[in-house]
């Protein structure tokens, strides 16, 4: 089987890249390890930057997001029992974010792909990448007991942190940077109305908490927990009781609890692989970088990579120019590292680090006081949160 681009991974990166290549008439296939239902079952991101919503519209899959997405022009920081609103719209000259779950983004992309009957090989096993230094790289896999090999001109590694793409790069050719945080996030999804119409990021003596949502009837909550926290330790009641202890009295009063429809512990890490291109293989999204979710950057970084990669491939195939391909990695990494910095900073500011001692705690409190009292500091937070512009 031959094609122009083989995309490995049918998460948001792979599906969005496929949608943009299809729109430009570029031949491609997607090879995905899991089933479509499994991919849809993962509960992940919730906040979309304007760059992401614009790209979904450009890809022709933005209609439901524009109809059902919740536009948010601010969020609250809660510390020392008081909430402080960060007015994103006022501080950034009109920029906002959209709350629309990654699951729904993936669903919209999948449905559009299915309607166009574009080739997508789910449940592909033993996916392997070959010949990335040559002119005709290949992706092989086993599906339904049949061995298949796809010959292509480029491979887009959109297969996430645990995927095969980054692992296929010779160790001598890649440098990785990593920081693992000493805690995780215990997340709950429940069909209860959100405690507030905007997100609440809380730094409390008991640890971090985040009140988010998916709609006016579906809420998403997180609390900082030990990284190896056994899920069975957390009944729904135990979670709600702990969350209440991390909220201000007003929010505690308004909190509506109910049965969880999803509950999971996510480890937190910062990770970057450099470069993001190896011959005919490009890495995009979580395959190349991971951020702690505090800054809501993971999915939005992935869409930025896809914007750059789709432009580079379209320029190569349609205009026969290679500038985009040559600059793909440096363009992405410039944006990636700024988002890594912001995500690390916001995580360091909002979580409890017992190992940093009383001095570290006082410094954190002073930074929070400065942040909410300074237009310059709040503007810096706001412009990073809504997303830095694409270069």
Positions in the binding site for ligand FAS (CB under 6 A):
8-14, 31-34, 39, 44-46, 102, 124, 127, 158-160, 162-164, 266, 285-286, 293, 296-299, 302
Positions in the binding site for ligand PHB (CB under 6 A):
45-47, 199, 210, 212, 220, 293-296
Candidates 100, 201, 222, 316; catalytic one? 201
Q: How far is the CB of 215 from ligand FAS (least distance, A)?
A: 16
The reply to whether 385 belongs to the active site is yes
Instruction: Look at residue 285 and give the partner it binds from ligand PHB, ligand FAS, none, a contact being a CB closer than 5 to 8 Å depending on partner kind.
Output: ligand FAS
Instruction: Look at residue 194 and give the partner it binds from ligand PHB, ligand FAS, none, a contact being a CB closer than 5 to 8 Å depending on partner kind.
Output: none
Candidates 12, 137, 194, 293; catalytic one? 293
30: Cα separation from own chain's centroid? 20
Full strand arrangement of the beta sheet holding 70-72: 47-48, 97-99, 70-72
Work out the angle between the directed axes of helices 12-23 and 298-319 (0-180°, nearest 10).
Answer: 30
Decide whether 160 or 293 has the Cβ nearer to ligand PHB. Answer: 293
Decide whether 21 or 199 has the Cβ nearer to ligand PHB. Answer: 199
The token duo for 385 is 């949160």
Decide whether 89 or 142 has the Cβ nearer to ligand PHB. Answer: 89
118: Cα separation from own chain's centroid? 24
Instruction: Look at residue 32 and give the partner it binds from ligand PHB, ligand FAS, none, a contact being a CB closer than 5 to 8 Å depending on partner kind.
Output: ligand FAS
The reply to whether 194 belongs to the active site is no
Q: How far is the CB of 97 from ligand PHB (least distance, A)?
A: 9
In the chain, the largest separation of any two C-alpha atoms, in whole Å, equals: 63
Decide whether 46 or 74 has the Cβ nearer to ligand PHB. Answer: 46
Decide whether 9 or 207 has the Cβ nearer to ligand FAS. Answer: 9
The reply to whether 221 belongs to the active site is no
Q: How far is the CB of 77 from ligand FAS (least distance, A)?
A: 17
The reply to whether 316 belongs to the active site is no
Q: Which residue is nearest to ligand PHB (CB)?
A: 46
Candidates 297, 307, 308, 351; catalytic one? 297
Instruction: Look at residue 157 and give the partner it binds from ligand FAS, ligand PHB, none, a contact being a CB closer than 5 to 8 Å depending on partner kind.
Output: none
Decide whether 255 or 283 has the Cβ nearer to ligand FAS. Answer: 283
The reply to whether 72 belongs to the active site is yes
Q: How far is the CB of 320 from ligand FAS (least distance, A)?
A: 29
Q: How far is the CB of 43 from ligand PHB (least distance, A)?
A: 8
Q: How far is the CB of 294 from ligand PHB (least distance, A)?
A: 5
The token duo for 44 is 């992940």
Q: Catalytic residue positions? A: 72, 201, 293, 297, 385
């Amino acid at each position: 089987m031959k094609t122009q681009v083989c995309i490995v991974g049918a998460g948001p990166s792979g599906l969005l890249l496929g949608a943009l290549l299809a729109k430009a008439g570029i031949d491609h296939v997607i090879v995905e390890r899991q089933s479509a239902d499994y991919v849809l079952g993962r509960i992940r991101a919730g906040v979309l930057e304007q760059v992401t919503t614009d790209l979904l519209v450009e890809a022709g899959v933005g209609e439901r997001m524009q109809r059902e997405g919740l536009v948010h022009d601010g969020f609250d920081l809660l510390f020392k029992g008081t909430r402080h609103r960060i007015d994103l719209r006022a501080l950034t000259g009109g920029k906002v974010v959209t709350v629309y779950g990654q699951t729904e983004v993936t669903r919209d992309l999948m449905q559009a792909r299915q309607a166009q009957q574009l080739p997508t090989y789910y449940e592909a096993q033993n996916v392997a990448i070959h010949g990335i230094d040559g002119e005709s790289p290949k992706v092989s896999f086993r599906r339904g007991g049949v061995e298949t090999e796809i010959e292509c001109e480029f491979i887009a590694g959109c297969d996430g942190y645990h995927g095969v793409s980054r692992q296929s790069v010779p160790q001598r050719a890649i440098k990785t940077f990593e920081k693992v945080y000493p805690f995780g996030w215990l997340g709950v999804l429940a069909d209860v109305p959100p405690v507030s119409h905007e997100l609440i990021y809380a730094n409390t003596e008991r640890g971090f908490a985040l009140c988010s949502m998916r709609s006016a009837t579906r809420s998403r909550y997180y609390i900082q927990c030990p990284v190896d926290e056994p899920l069975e330790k957390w009944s729904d009641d135990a979670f709600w009781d702990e969350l209440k202890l991390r909220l201000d009295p007003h929010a505690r009063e308004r909190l509506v609890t109910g049965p969880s429809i999803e509950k999971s512990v996510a480890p937190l890490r910062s990770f970057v692989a450099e470069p993001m291109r190896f011959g005919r293989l490009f890495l995009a999204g979580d395959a190349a970088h991971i951020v702690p979710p505090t800054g809501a950057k993971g999915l939005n970084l992935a869409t930025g990579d896809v914007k750059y990669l789709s432009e580079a491939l379209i320029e190569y195939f349609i205009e026969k120019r290679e500038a985009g391909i040559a600059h793909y990695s440096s363009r992405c990494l410039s944006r990636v590292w700024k988002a890594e910095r912001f995500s690390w900073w916001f995580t360091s500011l909002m979580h409890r680090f017992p190992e940093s001692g009383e001095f570290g705690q006082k410094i954190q409190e002073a930074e929070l006081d400065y942040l909410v009292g300074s237009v310059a500091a709040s503007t810096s937070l706001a412009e990073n949160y809504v997303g830095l512009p694409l270069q």
